[in-house]
C-alpha cells in the first residue's frame, strides 16, 4: 500500500505535465511512407517561414485519456492564447518559442483488487514557456520543450484504500517546477507537401521519449521524512521510489513506474484526405481560402490556409481511432505571416 500511495503522489505530479497519459511500446522499425497519391495540378507548396513570423492560437480543449485494466487517467487542458514565434531557421528545422497561461483538470482512478485509488487535480493560470522544433519540409513537430517555475496545482485525494488521512490532507496545494522535453524519432506531421486536392496520405509511425525533471516542496518533504525515518530503521518509502527523490528525473521515473521511456505513435494508412478547397473559412484571425482535410475518416477536420502559411483550424474527437488524444478544438487568433 505504501508503494501504491507514493506511486500515486508521483503519478499526480507527472500527470500535470501532460506526459503521463501514454504507455511504453516496442520501437517502430516498419516503413511508414507518407507518399501522396492521385496528385492534381492545383497544389500548395510548403511555406517558407522567416524569423519573426508568429501565429497565435486559441485552444478551447485538448482532452487526453489513458485507460487499461483497472486504470483510468484523464486530463483536459485549455489555453486562451498560444503565441508561437519563429526565432531560428537553422538547418532543416524552424525553432519557435512560446510563453502562455494554461488551465486544466485531471483524474486518476486505479483499482488493483484492494479498493480504488481516486485522485483529482486542477490548476488555473499556470504559466508555461517553451520551444517547438518544426521540420521545414513537412511542418512536422520534431521536439517540444516545456518549462514552468513554482506553479500551483491543487490535488484532491478522494479515496485511498486502507488509509485514513486527516481532513487537511485530502486537499493539497503543491507548487511544482518543471522542465520537460518530448523528442520524436520522426517529425509528426498532419500535412504532406505539395498539398493537392483529391489526395490522401498516411500518418507516419514514430517513437518518442521524454526527458527532464520535476521538483516540488512536497517531494522534498517526503524525501526528508524518509531520510529521518531511516535513522531509526523506519524508511516508509520503497527503495525504488526513494531513489527518484527529491528531484524526479523523467527518464528514471518512467522506467521505474511503467517500465520504459519509449512511446509509440502508430502508423495509420490513409489517415488524411484532402478532397477539395473551401472558400471563406472564418476564424478570429480572418477569412481564408483553405484546404479542407478530413482526418481519420471524419473523426476530425483540419483547415490549412496558404495565405496564413499554417493550419488555421483543427477540431475532432479521436478517442475511437488513436490512443491518448480524445478531443481537440483550436483555431488561429492572429498571425504576422505574409
Tens of pLDDT along 145-181?
Answer: 999 999 999 989 888 765 566 677 788 899 999 999 9
**Structural domain of 115:** 2-27+52-186+209-266+316-332
Is residue 95 within 8 A of residue 51, CB to CB? The reply is no
User: What's the total number of domains in the chain?
Assistant: 1
Q: How confident is the model at residue 40 (pLDDT cuts 50, 70, 90)?
A: very low
Q: Is 2 helix (H, G, I), strand (E, B) or coil?
A: helix
Within-domain flag for 292: no
Burial level of 193, CB count in 10 A (0-12/13-18/19+)? middle
Within-domain flag for 277: no
Backbone φ and ψ of 244, nearest 5° = -85, -15
Within-domain flag for 201: no
Within-domain flag for 130: yes
Q: Which residue has the cell 500551483?
A: 152
Is residue 307 within 8 A of residue 280, CB to CB? The reply is no
CA dist 326 and 263 (Å) reads 17
CA dist 122 and 142 (Å) reads 29
Report pLDDT for 236. Answer: 72
| Cell, residue 85 | 514565434
pLDDT digits (tens, 9 = 90+) for 221-251: 888 988 888 888 777 777 888 899 999 999 9
Q: Is the model more confident about 328 or about 257?
A: 328
247-249-255 Cα angle (round to 5): 135
Backbone φ and ψ of 3, nearest 5° = -60, -45
Answer yes or no: is pLDDT of 257 > 60: yes
Lowest pLDDT segment from 86-95, 137-146, 294-303 = 294-303
Answer yes or no: is pLDDT of 284 > 60: yes
Within-domain flag for 297: no
Beta strand 300-305 with 310-317 is: antiparallel
Q: Which helix H or strand E contains 13, and what residues bound it?
A: helix 2-15
18-117-219 Cα angle (round to 5): 55
| Cell, residue 205 | 509511425
Within-domain flag for 285: no
Within-domain flag for 33: no
CA dist 204 and 206 (Å) reads 6
Ramachandran area for residue 248 (φ above 0: left; ψ -120 to 50: alpha; else beta)? beta
DSSP result, 208-233: EEEEEEEE-HHHHHHHHHHHHHHHTT
Ramachandran area for residue 18 (φ above 0: left; ψ -120 to 50: alpha; else beta)? left
Is residue 217 within 8 A of residue 175, CB to CB? The reply is yes
Answer yes or no: is pLDDT of 41 > 70: no
Within-domain flag for 58: yes
Amino acid at each position: 500500500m505504501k508503494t501504491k500511495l507514493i506511486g500515486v503522489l508521483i503519478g499526480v505530479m507527472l500527470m500535470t505535465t501532460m506526459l503521463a497519459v501514454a504507455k511504453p511500446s516496442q520501437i517502430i522499425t516498419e516503413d511508414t511512407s507518407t507518399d501522396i497519391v492521385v496528385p492534381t495540378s492545383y497544389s500548395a507548396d510548403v511555406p517558407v517561414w522567416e524569423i519573426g513570423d508568429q501565429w497565435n492560437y486559441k485552444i478551447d480543449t485538448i482532452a487526453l485519456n489513458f485507460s487499461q485494466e483497472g486504470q483510468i487517467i484523464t486530463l483536459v487542458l485549455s489555453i486562451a492564447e498560444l503565441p508561437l514565434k519563429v526565432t531560428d531557421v537553422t538547418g532543416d528545422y524552424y525553432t519557435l518559442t512560446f510563453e502562455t497561461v494554461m488551465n486544466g483538470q485531471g483524474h486518476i482512478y486505479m483499482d488493483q483488487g484492494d479498493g480504488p485509488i481516486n485522485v483529482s487535480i486542477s490548476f488555473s493560470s499556470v504559466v508555461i514557456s517553451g520551444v517547438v522544433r518544426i521540420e521545414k519540409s513537412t511542418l512536422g513537430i520534431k521536439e517540444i520543450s516545456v518549462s514552468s517555475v513554482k506553479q500551483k496545482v491543487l490535488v484532491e485525494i478522494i479515496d485511498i484504500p486502507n488509509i485514513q488521512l486527516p481532513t487537511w490532507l485530502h486537499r493539497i496545494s503543491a507548487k511544482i517546477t518543471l522542465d520537460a522535453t518530448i523528442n520524436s524519432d520522426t517529425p509528426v506531421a498532419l500535412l504532406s507537401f505539395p498539398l493537392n486536392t483529391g489526395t490522401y496520405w498516411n500518418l507516419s509511425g514514430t517513437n518518442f521519449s521524454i526527458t527532464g525533471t520535476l521538483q516540488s516542496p512536497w517531494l522534498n518533504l517526503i524525501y526528508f521524512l524518509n531520510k529521518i525515518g531511516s535513522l531509526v530503521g523506519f524508511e516508509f518509502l520503497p527503495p525504488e521510489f526513494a531513489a527518484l527523490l527529491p528531484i524526479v528525473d523523467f527518464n528514471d521515473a518512467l522506467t521505474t513506474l511503467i517500465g520504459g521511456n519509449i512511446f509509440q505513435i502508430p502508423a495509420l494508412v490513409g489517415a488524411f484526405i484532402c478532397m477539395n478547397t473551401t472558400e471563406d473559412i472564418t476564424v478570429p484571425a480572418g477569412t481564408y481560402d483553405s484546404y479542407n482535410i478530413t482526418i481519420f475518416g471524419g473523426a476530425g477536420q483540419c483547415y490549412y490556409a496558404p495565405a496564413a502559411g499554417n493550419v488555421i483550424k483543427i477540431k475532432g474527437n479521436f478517442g475511437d481511432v488513436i490512443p491518448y488524444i480524445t478531443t481537440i478544438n483550436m483555431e488561429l487568433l492572429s498571425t504576422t505571416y505574409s
